[in-house]
Structure 1
């Protein structure tokens, strides 16, 4: 792809507010930097969106960057540890603005808002452990944040989220339009989780010719949200999701109709993070 990526020396302090504030409408600069993945080898820019297939995409891109097709991560959290990732954040570049002016191949992936927010709820609120996100929702609902036994219903969760300013939402359920700064960044390709097998192969074909051996299907965050649509969605839940994610439905062209029939599963990439 040929775009030059000049990186800073290790340990150089970078003020992320100065570096990235212009690209952030609602997402905090430090969160955008975590979402940014820049390849020194191939010169592309991938901006990840939680609960939209990012674990499988990032692990594949990391293996491609390292030229290690059989690399295995012991725990999925390692995939997102930027301190050991071979892909760069914006703060690691000498001049991120100049990198963008060169118009590198830039891509991201999105997901149907109905299944994405349900997946976030199942993992972060009902995941069987006291996540930071669960504690925050419990506090917002007026409950003891350490109450592991309290059952936060999906509708209660959505009511809480609907009352949060977008800028304070957790990135796992913040509208995707703002997570990846679609109003501030230029994208060459926006793929969909629902067609990941096809879309990610298209992306990889733009990056290099020999990519098949690197493709990873990372499912350890999987919550089978697609199969649980009818169980969790009431009329009120549908109305709340339409309201919270209006910008996602409009910008990414998803139907406002609830996908009652589970999205088609592919035994390869399309099962990512369900």
Structure 2
């Protein structure tokens, strides 16, 4: 199985396990900058050189050797499950992607037909009942994760613990797992522990948000999208994420974690 979703700087200063919808564009650009003294021109997900990625065949043996021998500092970043699934909905389901098309081609028509979801019209800009549509999307997300129907779960809404566990199960070990909600503090803690070719000043680094502007703006506070049934579905999908990464399940309005991640617990529970 190897190390899917793993990126590493060319200098091998640091290894990162990508978790979709958790500041991965910004993190990738910071890694690129730390090696080259410039940002990648375009979406870092499209970069095919200047960085090792598991998706690039030539990078696989280099990443595998490094990760299995724990040759470099390894980290990842997590996000509140409530805001993460909401972000996935507005970006991937309601938004037009950077290629000018809908995400995954026939996915949105399928959702409109089978789950009665609205997405704000052809361009995602018309008014629609966001709360009603989001709750129906949540049902679909649960169906994909629980029963792999009507399709396999998508990386943008499958549980963070699933992404993070593949790295551990195959022999990797994390030195740091930090929170999107405390990004500067967490990213600084990584930079403080590694040697980089080019110093990174987080205060001046732009936020690279590949999903910015793709879809409609969220019209309500986070907690308005989650009634009792929605919270039940979220728990069914993301129970381990809440428990391992210390997020507040009881209060969807509280995006902040309740405490630091216990790395030993993460390795013990996700390494099986």
With structure 2 as the length reference, what TM-score do the two structures score? 0.71
Alpha-carbon deviation of 1:115?
Answer: 0.5
| Structure-1-length-normalised TM-score | 0.71
The 5-angstrom pairing of residues 66-145 of structure 1 reads: 66-68=36-38, 71=39, 73=41, 75=42, 78-84=43-49, 86-90=50-54, 91=57, 92-103=59-70, 104-128=72-96, 130-133=101-104, 135-136=106-107, 138-139=109-110, 142-143=113-114
Unmatched runs of 5 consecutive residues or more in structure 2: 123-127, 258-272
Structure 1 unaligned regions, length at least 5:
1-20, 24-31, 265-274
Q: 1:140-162 CA distances to partner (integer Å, 9 max, x unpaired)?
A: 564599x9739670111010111
Q: Deviation string for 1:189-232 (max 9, x for gaps)?
A: 10110111100011111223732177332235247769730332
Give yes or no for contact 1:177–1:183 (8 Å, CA) kept in 2.
Answer: no
CA distance 1:134–1:226, shift in 2 (3 Å): farther
Are residues 258 and 182 of structure 1, via their aligned partners in 2, closer, same or farther at CA, if it must alter by over 3 Å?
A: farther
Secondary structure (helix, strand or coil) at the match of 1:197 reads helix
In the superposition, relative to structure 1, how do residues 247 and 263 fare at CA in structure 2: closer, same or farther (>3 Å)? closer
- Equivalence for 2:201: 212
CA RMSD of aligned residues (A): 3.2
Deviation of the 1:120 alpha carbon:
0.5
Tell me, in whole angstroms, the C-alpha distance in 2 between the residues paired with 1:141 and 1:226. 20
Contact 2:20 2:156 in 1 (8 A): yes
Change (3 A) 1:65 1:216: farther
Q: 2:223 aligns with which of 210, 227, 230?
A: 230
